[in-house]
Copies of this chain bind each other. A is one copy, B any other.
């Protein structure tokens, strides 16, 4: 672990983050808002990072596993503090910890907010929230496809083992990143144009496209997509883009080469099956049991929107479902835990791990009947080694232990079980809203400053897929430095 390696990597990421400040600055200029502090912040960030990068221009930073894990964890301290400064400058948040929470929530694409009146904010800050999502989302795809397999996390190792990476994508981070970046950009532009076509104002269309493609969840409206719930085109366009944003980007990348095979693998197939099955069932539950009688089509529309929003861990809300029938609420919790596909911006456990889990259980049960049989676990015709299997099952354990610890903490802070459990799943799964006191039309502002910092940490742990973070806490990580 050399200081130069760390410094260079951290500076590159911070530099790109600085670049993304161009969006709020332009917004400030267009809407005649006091953009000067924002511009100065951006220029300072670019200047400092630029200077470091210039100084280290001859240094070739090839990170090893430890350095990689250290960089992707410690970068959140920089992002959290620097990204929070605009909120502090413009007095948008009552305290610094609130600003940090909002920022971490932005960059992790969680989308949980401490703001109660979003529409009263300067448009610059609204754009900054969306831009953080968008920048964060791109970073997460690169991280999960290029960095995670190195760290040995099961899910992406499997994709690597599947050979998608070495066949179709170049192994270098930079080239991979550029390729994915084009797909990400194309989706965002398509989404924004379609939203504009369907009747959204350009500013809202761009913000919501940023937020949707990153499966972020920050909106420019106080009641999120409740504002657009009457506009069927906007609703279904958003459902469509949320759903595809939850699919592995390597599959999308193949699509651009007219190769549909990426969608036919086990993970996206199960993901889409689950999405349709749960949306239909949950819609039926609303239609049958909801006292305020939405009608069949409206029930289905809101069900598809909500399930898409929570399963892809976007967190938009088209309606306040926090007091709805228990059957619907349990489905929202279920899809929070499932999450989207690995290699997308979605959080949660990820569908691929359930695919492997169910295959492993089937083999275990077979093994009990015929203990001397030899069993090979296959996924998409490729072998799941016992190493990958153990890493995956370990992830489940780590994920649920993290959630158990956070739920216990929040309960000890006085929250009821529904709020504590759903808040925990919403933070570690990078969903955003939970149930109870932290429902889709509520926010996290009522919590104490240290609760907000702990929740921020939970968002980061979830975003780093647990292992990467807990790696840093282990003794063996720090040995022999």
Query: A residues bordering B, Cβ < 8 Å?
Result: 65-66, 151-152, 285, 289, 325-327, 329-331, 333-334, 357, 360-362, 364-371, 386, 389-391, 393-394, 396-398, 400, 404, 407-408, 411-412, 414-418, 420-421, 435, 467, 470-471, 474, 476-477
Q: Are A470 and B411 in contact (CB under 8 A)?
A: no
Q: Are B151 and A414 in contact (CB under 8 A)?
A: no
A326-B415, A360-B397, A417-B435 known; 5 other A-B pairs, CB under 8 Å? Answer: A329-B411, A366-B476, A369-B474, A396-B396, A417-B418
Contacts of A325 in B (CB 8 A): 414
Q: Are B408 and A369 in contact (CB under 8 A)?
A: no
Contacts of A367 in B (CB 8 A): 152
The secondary structure that dominates the A interface is: helix
CB distance from A193 to the nearest CB of B (A): 39
Q: CA separation between A289 and B367, bound complex, in Å? A: 50
Contacts of A467 in B (CB 8 A): 364-365, 368
Q: Are A333 and B370 in contact (CB under 8 A)?
A: no
Q: Are B330 and A417 in contact (CB under 8 A)?
A: yes
CB distance from A70 to the nearest CB of B (A): 11
If A152-B371, A364-B390, A471-B368 touch, does A327 touch B411 (CB 8 Å cutoff)? Answer: yes
18 contacts between A and B (CB under 8 A): A152-B367, A325-B414, A327-B414, A329-B411, A331-B408, A334-B404, A360-B390, A364-B467, A365-B467, A365-B470, A365-B474, A365-B477, A368-B467, A369-B471, A389-B390, A393-B393, A396-B397, A417-B435
Contacts of A370 in B (CB 8 A): 476
Nearest residue, chain B, Cβ from A393: B393
Nearest residue, chain B, Cβ from A368: B152
Contacts of A417 in B (CB 8 A): 326, 329-330, 333, 417-418, 421, 435
Q: CA separation between A29 and B280, bound complex, in Å? A: 59
Contacts of A326 in B (CB 8 A): 411-412, 414-417, 420
CB distance from A420 to the nearest CB of B (A): 7
Nearest residue, chain B, Cβ from A326: B411
